[in-house]
Amino acid sequence: MAAHKEMKHNVRAIAAQFDIYGDFVEAMPYGSGHINDTYCAIFDQGATRVRYIIQRINHNIFKNPVGLMENVARVCAHSQAKLREANAPDATRRALTLIPTRDGKDWLIDAENNVWRTYIFVERARGYDVIEHTGQAFQAAKAFGAFQKLLVDIPGGRLVETIPNFHNSRWRFENLKKSIEADKHNRAKDVKKEIEWFLAQEKEFSFVVDHIAAGRIPERVTHNDTKLNNVLIDDYTSEGICVIDLDTCMPGSALYDFGDMVRTATSPGKEDDVNLDNVYCREEYVEALLRGYMTTAGDFLNKYEKELLPFSGKLLTMECGSRFLADYLDGDVYFKTSRPGHNVDRCRTQIKLADDIQSKLGKLNKLVASL
């Protein structure tokens, strides 16, 4: 992925505090995540170049970065232990591995109170912002299902909720209403149609939350940010090799994870595509997601979860759209943006996609039943 952002930090000085062998060569901004500051750092180890991922956690968004790192350390340790138990080849490509600091901690707090971590770089694999073929959908869903299955027996009690109410879509809806009412930057006038669209969806925003409250849908340890580029696909075997971006791994619903895959792995358009003709849900991609997910998650999902898989795609798309719109109204303070109106463009793709999923729900529900 292109190194398109400027260096805001002295990554060399940060890297020096992690237990990395060899000589620092260079570091550059890396990836297309919307939240953290991610750098790729290159070290020379005996005349071989080795890459590391060094990240600063965005503590404006994650208010408890230490609790977050405790989660991440537990998830990484549990995954690595299970891989080793199974004698899996290539273990450091199949689950993230933290590099400790020179004093043996899993994270570093710098003089400005930024929390940093370093991971082994998973080589010969990449994340995709836009899906290329149905095989990737199958692989991504299989990998996220395996990830959930792996965490069923994570020891140490309930994970910390790194962002409370993260997928409480009822709460997200109320938040959007607050942003509309506050209209801090006098922007509501530019997005009247979009606001109207969301207000008309009010009932559906509560649907899954109500099922959870009634006990029909169980709490599970989920990833909660299963967008396609958060699973690395092996360059040679095309296997979904490593689930990354563990910051929101916490108690949640399987529907949040499946829904976000439908949102990010079925449309040929980009999340911020300005040509909405590119944005729609392809049924064969949903089918690939369902088939992939069922291979790993099929045996633990209950009847309600299975039935609601297609709807979860619409729900997570609406939810994300409502967050982009609220952020636009709040003055673009949450998601990284690179042009004026970026969050509006993102919101519009989500509305288009949610409408398209809605128009195909009947067929998709039949498909689930047939599988």
Encoding tokens for residue 316? Answer: 């997570």
Quick one: which of 69, 83, 122, 286 contacts ligand ADP (CB under 6 A)?
A: 122
What is the size of the binding site for ligand ADP (CB under 6 A)?
19
Nearest to 258 by CA among 204, 210, 310: 310
162 part of the interface to ligand ADP, by CB under 6 A: no
The site partner of 80 among ligand ADP, Mg ion, ligand GN1, none (C-beta below 5 to 8 Å per kind) is none
Among 30, 293, 324, 328, binds ligand ADP (CB under 6 A): 30
With CB cut-offs between 5 and 8 Å by kind, which of ligand GN1, Mg ion, ligand ADP, none does residue 292 bind? none
Between 83 and 140, name the residue whose CB sits nearer to ligand GN1: 140
Smallest separation (angstroms) from ligand ADP to the CB of 60: 13
Residue 247 corresponds to which amino acid?
D
Contacts of ligand ADP in 76-105 (CB under 6 A): 96
Contact 257, 143 (CB under 8 A): no
Q: Which residues sit at the interface with ligand GN1, rule CB under 6 A?
A: 33-35, 61, 225, 227, 230, 245, 247-248, 271, 320
Q: d(Cα 328, Cα 188) in Å, to the nearest integer?
A: 9
Among candidate residues 112, 94, 141, the one with its CA nearest the CA of residue 37: 112
96 binds, among Mg ion, ligand GN1, ligand ADP, none (CB under 5 to 8 A by kind): ligand ADP
Residue type (1 letter), 33: G
Q: Can you tell me which of 29, 33, 145, 252 binds ligand ADP, judged by CB under 6 A?
A: 33
Q: What is the rounded CA–CA span in Å between residue 243 and residue 232?
A: 6
The total number of residues shown for the chain amounts to 371
CA torsion through residues 31, 32, 38, 39, sign: positive
Which residues in 240-279 contact ligand ADP (CB under 6 A)?
244-245, 247
DSSP 256-289: HHHHHHHHHHS-SS-TT-S-GGG----HHHHHHH
- Inter-helix orientation angle 342-370/254-265, to 10°: 110
* Cβ proximity to ligand ADP, 1 vs 276, nearer residue: 1
Task: Name the residue nearer to ligand GN1 (CB basis): 20 or 54.
Answer: 54
Residue showing the smallest CB distance to ligand GN1 in the complex: 34
Give the shortest CB-215-to-Mg ion separation in angstroms: 32
Assess 43 for contact with ligand ADP (CB under 6 A).
no
Question: For residues 121 and 197, which CB has a smaller minimum distance to ligand ADP in the complex?
Answer: 121
- Cα gap 94→237, rounded to integer Å: 13
Reduced to 3 states (helix: H, G, I; strand: E, B; else coil), residue 200 is: coil
Q: How far is the CB of 370 from ligand GN1 (least distance, A)?
A: 29
Give the nearest distance from C-beta 245 to ligand ADP in angstroms: 3
Q: Which DSSP letter does residue 230 get?
A: G
Among 89, 232, 218, residue whose Cα is nearest residue 147: 232
Alpha helices in 105-163 (DSSP H): 134-150
Which spans of this chain sit near ligand ADP (rule: CB under 6 A)?
Answer: 1, 30-31, 33-36, 38, 53, 96, 119, 121-122, 127, 229-230, 244-245, 247
